[in-house]
Structure 1
Amino acid sequence: MNMKNLRDDILAGTVVFLVALPLSLGIAQACGLPPFVGLLTGVIGGLVVTLCSPSRFAVSGPAAGLVTIVVAAMENLGSFSLLLAALVLAGSLQTLAGILRFGRWISLIPGSVIQGMMAAIGLLLIRQQTPAALDAEGETVTKLFSPLSVFVALGALFILFLWHKRRQHNRFFGLVPGELVAVLWGGMVLLIAEKLLPQAAATLDRLSLPQVDSWASLAQQFNHPDFFNAWSHPAVWLTGLTLALVASMETLLSQQALKKLVDQRPQPSPDKELLAQGAGNMLSGLLGGIPVTAVIVRSSVNVNAGARSKLSVILHGVLMLCCGLLFESLLNRIPLASLAAILIYTGYKLASPSLFISQWRQGLVQFIPFLATTCGIIFIGMLPGLLAGVLTQLLCSSVASHQSAIQLSRYNDHFVVRFNQNLIFLHNARLQQLLAKIPDNSVVIVEHENAEYLDKDIKATLAEFSDMANMRNITLEQWPRLENG
């Protein structure tokens, strides 16, 4: 490696670290877990997964998209140790999927369902983090809230939206992460409030990382799965399956999106990526972390910052490790409202109004399954919502395909009936409907080159129309052969 590539990797790794640090801390906090858990997961993603991954630029770590699943799982399971067992199971399933080469099947999942899943996660994230941003005394914003927390959160949101708008036109805004500035804003407000409004500053919730001054104190921070009670708990198996499915989808979609940002030769294997993610999630479950996925936001930052190799991603993991071990007192100055604002902004990006407009413009065949997936996940859960979206897409696509199988065009007194595919009994009602529109004294031309098969019901309808044609003075041209029908 030459010095220029080394310099580029060091710069990119530092920028990715500055983006990943507040996100990892905020995601753990959003899950109702200690911030150390987020740092641990970020280190596992940055070091272990990166070393196993076939991609040179993908950055793995805790993902905001899995926050709602983790929170729901914690409520259902009632114990973090059972969640860790489910995470080990999820990693095992991902590893098995990689061995069986299931990675290629991601292309079978409809785009509308994937977009609906991301929109639902974004909306749930916004709903979940709004009370945290307000420092509300309950799960609804109608409870008493902290004015200082609101000020910090609104300021952080303003910074994030401003940064996003300006970074495309100004190199400085593109180089310095908006998430870092939002965190610095919160720390600055806390510092000033401690001088001018000490009572208000004392009520502002902030991070609480443990002080790690020995190997013994570090070992106390790790949690371990409860395998003994997990195997007989059906919810553990369902949670493991859900985590494996959603984490794999997010990882493989990130890999697809990364292909559009940078050319990697040879292209990373999706099956090997599943193996890497599975190893990361099994280790995260064993040590007390949360789910690991490849994250497109951090991966795109890595590419845009000029990364040349895996060194940039590994460096970001090393910096996460050093930060958690050496600078816990500095991190504990970060208000939780700043982290909540970052996650609210992340939720907004996942469920932006432009996404709903884009899906609407693609037509009802896309929009209805998208909406069904979004609403299904929000109201009935992740797996049922995804299943509802897939079934709705299948139904909508079937209806659209059914409508386009047979087409009727008119040119003065000439009518052209086009068969665009093989026709079975399900198309018979459509055929009868179109043939009924043809008036007497017409010329009917049938274009049936694309239909290699017509079943008996279709042939019977065509034969019936042919028998009536002479009585109605209708001329038939290119009529399909109906022998053996």
Structure 2
Amino acid sequence: MENGNSVFYRLDIRKYILKKNLKRDLPSSLVVFFVALPLCLGIALASGAPLFAGVLTGVIGGIVVATVSGSQLSVSGPAAGLTVIVLGAITHLGRYPVFLLAVVLAGGIQIILGMIKAGTIGNYFPSSVIDGMLAAIGLILILKQLPHALGIDLDFLDESVFRNDHEGAYAAIGNALMQFNPAALIITALSIATLIYGTKDRIPKGIPAPLIVVVMGVALGLAFNQTAYALRPEQMVKIPVVQGWEGFKALFVHPDFSAIGSREVWTVALTIAIVASLETLLSLEAIDKIDPIKRVSPTNRELVAQGMGNICSGMLGGLPLTSVIVRSSANVNSGARTKMSAILHGCWLLLALLAIPGLINMIPLACLASILLVTGYKLTRISLFKEMYARGWDQFVPFVVTLIAILLTDLLKGVAVGMVLSIFYLLRINMRNPFFYRIQEEGDQKNLRLKLAEEVSFLNKAAIQVVLNHIPKETNVIIDGNNSRYIDPDVLETIFNFQHHAYTKGIVVTLENIRKHYSVPKLTDQIIQDINRK
């Protein structure tokens, strides 16, 4: 009887917890849905992909990824950080089904990364490079959305704008600006004002500012349709209207596996996998920090979940997805407690896609563009430049160089340039701090003590060699390795060679606790040993 009672007791507890969490997760899922819908449409628009693909990716991110993920609060979907890659990839690969193959392959790569425990990969990218990448994406988002915001038919990043003809780039842009649509401009201005107003917590809690923008955009669009400034059909959202089961099946596009031997496809897949994984891991870290319960999400499991999501998305015609900080933070701020909120938000997206496509098609592109303009500014805000400058040149220079390199080339090359520059600054810092020294004088005799750092790598060899070569004659030198857990073999060779030849200059060398061989220390083992000692 006791065992039976204990079983019923556990069941009651589970029901209580589920009911308690559902009271938070259900309303949170609605808030996330209202935030995600315009973002899914806007990011698909910015990526040059079908708008249906954006919503489909949100559905997969909500239902598939959240189900597999170990994170309770992360929400996945199409991400602004991938728009540049996706737009360039679709254009470069030529056909959308070929691009979908790259998405499927990227998902496979992510699963492999998760299985080989590569979840710590985000820790090896300097924050200055990441910030530079996000700032560049923000600028490109702004440039790409200006035509939709103004209601003009011009892509500011199209090569024709920057061509060297008689008209010139500035003249082309000037002519385009003269052709703006007043209705689109008014919708954009009011939408941006609403979004800025909403960030100051002046909108009632639980009503997301993007939802207000969409409702207002629909209302203004209908009002302007009765005037001479009516929005043209190409200035409105266009997603297919589902007509029966056959019509629903026809919406999906499948990857072209005949291109699997293409080098370009694999390059795009690797780029998507790396950037999507990095953005996911950074987002996951940020969400764990604002989780009220302070849970820690398993990063390797998250990579597997994202990989499965990208495989599903690529197979059905969607975009690459990541964990998205905007939706995830909205999820946390609206009081979500478990992954059920993210799963339900995916269900609401699917329901909207099936039930109200006509209503979605009444949304002006200008109000979606305004959401992305504000998103772009948040990524490349002026305060970020001031903050990076205040951190010092070793942070500011890689940040700016990464940003400029991405704008002039592409995202992967720009990040690579930023990484090289960051490594250069890292080498400079390492070469300056291989040891501490102290000089004591006893009459005419000089005593020099070199106290080596805890870990001395081959990067420190040059600095140590320069100091040893410039030690004056008739000096007593003590090289102290008492604090060193590891000394690189190249550095050891330099020290022993100096000891062997120092007598020719009248230098007496004493080595304290310098071993002939050091094994590479395992940090976790060392921490455990230190804890056990204490």
TM-score norm. by structure 1 comes to 0.87
* CA deviations over 1:260-302 (Å, ceiling 9, x no partner): 0116686332111111111111111111100111111111111
- How many Å apart are 1:192 and its aligned residue? 2.3
State how 1:127-206 maps to structure 2 within 5 Å: 127-140=143-156, 141-142=173-174, 143=176, 144-164=179-199, 166-167=200-201, 170=202, 172-195=203-226, 197-202=227-232, 205-206=235-236
Query: Aligned pair 1:226/2:244, yes or no?
Result: no
SS at match of 1:103: coil
Does structure 2 conserve the Cα–Cα contact (< 8 Å) formed by 1:365 and 1:400?
Answer: no
CA distance in 2, matches of 1:87, 1:130: 28
Distance 1:420 1:173, change over 3 A: farther
Q: Between 72-81 and 121-130, report the one with greater CA deviation.
A: 121-130
Partner of residue 113, structure 1: 129
* CA deviations over 1:211-249 (Å, ceiling 9, x no partner): 213111111211111111x12321111011111111111
Partner of residue 5, structure 2: none
CA distance in 1, matches of 2:313, 2:266: 17
- How many Å apart are 1:137 and its aligned residue? 2.3
Partner of residue 287, structure 1: 316
Letter in 1 for 2:242: V
Distance 1:480 1:443, change over 3 A: closer
SS at match of 1:61: strand
- How many residues in Structure 1 have an aligned counterpart in Structure 2? 470
**Pairwise CA RMSD:** 3.2
* CA deviations over 1:154-184 (Å, ceiling 9, x no partner): 22222212211x12xx5x4442212112222
CA distance in 1, matches of 2:392, 2:184: 42
- How many Å apart are 1:410 and its aligned residue? 8.6
Letter in 1 for 2:154: G
Partner of residue 473, structure 1: none
Does structure 2 conserve the Cα–Cα contact (< 8 Å) formed by 1:93 and 1:241?
Answer: yes
Does structure 2 conserve the Cα–Cα contact (< 8 Å) formed by 1:68 and 1:121?
Answer: yes
Partner of residue 427, structure 1: 463
- How many Å apart are 1:97 and its aligned residue? 1.5
TM-score norm. by structure 2 comes to 0.79
- How many Å apart are 1:17 and its aligned residue? 0.5
CA distance in 1, matches of 2:448, 2:466: 15
Distance 1:456 1:482, change over 3 A: farther
Q: Calculate percent identity across the aligned residue pairs.
A: 36
State how 1:387-398 maps to structure 2 within 5 Å: 387-398=416-427
Q: Structure 2: where are the runs of 5+ without partners?
A: 1-14, 157-172, 517-534
Q: 1:248 aligns with which of 263, 269, 277?
A: 277
Does structure 2 conserve the Cα–Cα contact (< 8 Å) formed by 1:123 and 1:347?
Answer: yes
- How many Å apart are 1:115 and its aligned residue? 2.1
Q: 1:88 aligns with which of 96, 99, 104?
A: 104
Does structure 2 conserve the Cα–Cα contact (< 8 Å) formed by 1:406 and 1:431?
Answer: no
Q: Between 274-283 and 359-368, report the one with greater CA deviation.
A: 359-368
* CA deviations over 1:346-404 (Å, ceiling 9, x no partner): 11112222222222222222223223322232222222222222222222101111122
Distance 1:449 1:4, change over 3 A: closer
Q: Structure 1: where are the runs of 5+ without partners?
A: 471-475
SS at match of 1:25: helix
SS at match of 1:136: coil
Distance 1:28 1:447, change over 3 A: same
Distance 1:483 1:87, change over 3 A: closer
Q: 2:91 aligns with which of 75, 97, 106?
A: 75
CA distance in 1, matches of 2:505, 2:251: 85
Distance 1:418 1:336, change over 3 A: farther
Partner of residue 313, structure 1: 342
- How many Å apart are 1:69 and its aligned residue? 0.6
CA distance in 2, matches of 1:411, 1:301: 62
Query: Aligned pair 1:239/2:268, yes or no?
Result: yes
Partner of residue 28, structure 1: 44
Distance 1:429 1:133, change over 3 A: farther
Q: 1:346 aligns with which of 370, 375, 383?
A: 375
Letter in 2 for 1:431: V
Distance 1:121 1:434, change over 3 A: farther
SS at match of 2:238: coil
Query: Aligned pair 1:216/2:232, yes or no?
Result: no
Distance 1:73 1:204, change over 3 A: closer
Q: Between 130-139 and 293-302, report the one with greater CA deviation.
A: 130-139
Distance 1:456 1:32, change over 3 A: closer
CA distance in 2, matches of 1:192, 1:416: 84
- How many Å apart are 1:307 and its aligned residue? 0.9
SS at match of 1:175: coil
Does structure 1 conserve the Cα–Cα contact (< 8 Å) formed by 2:149 and 2:367?
Answer: yes
Does structure 2 conserve the Cα–Cα contact (< 8 Å) formed by 1:417 and 1:445?
Answer: yes
Distance 1:202 1:72, change over 3 A: closer
Distance 1:264 1:278, change over 3 A: farther
Letter in 2 for 1:256: E
Letter in 2 for 1:426: A
- How many Å apart are 1:122 and its aligned residue? 1.5
